[in-house]
Amino acid sequence: MNYFLGIDLGTSYFKAGIFEETGRLKGLGRQYVHKVSDGIICELPTDIFWKTIRLCLDEALQMATIPPDAIRSISYSSQANSFILLDAHDEPLTSLILWPDKRASGIELPLADDLMNRTGLGALPNAEYAIAKFKWFQKKRPDVWEKVACILSISDYLTFSLTGHV
């Protein structure tokens, strides 16, 4: 039988579900995300990111009682506006910066007057949007920003790390 793996990279918990071809849940792993947060900064160090995913997968595989090579496809969902900055050698310049991070509070974002009509967003971008944090790095941490060769969302980072391709 073929099995399918679904991963949810949530803000509070990462979840991994292994499903049979019929859609029946065979194994489930759920792990709390140990973020680094002081009420303003909200980050996830990459080593904790990988440890948390690994614990989820191990738990799901143990419950499913199948070998990892029985999994035929993987799908995932993730947080919007969470990202990591990489240098020209694909090395992280930052931890994963999660969407609740508010370091960009007070950063002015020059936006088109009709942004909501153009994008369908229900609200104007604020400090929790990735674009505000990019501006923050440009203004407050130009030493880091000048080294940025690639910006990856949390799901892009997962894909890139597993495959070498975005």
pTM: 0.87
The full set of domains in the chain, from first to last, is 3-163 (3.30.420.40)
What is residue 134's predicted lDDT score, i.e. its pLDDT?
94
The whole-angstrom distance between residue 10's C-alpha and the CA centroid of its chain comes to 8
- Name residues of the chain where pLDDT drops below 50: none
User: What's residue 126's pLDDT?
Assistant: 80
Write out pLDDT tens, residues 65-111.
Answer: 999 999 999 999 998 899 999 999 999 999 999 999 999 998 887 66
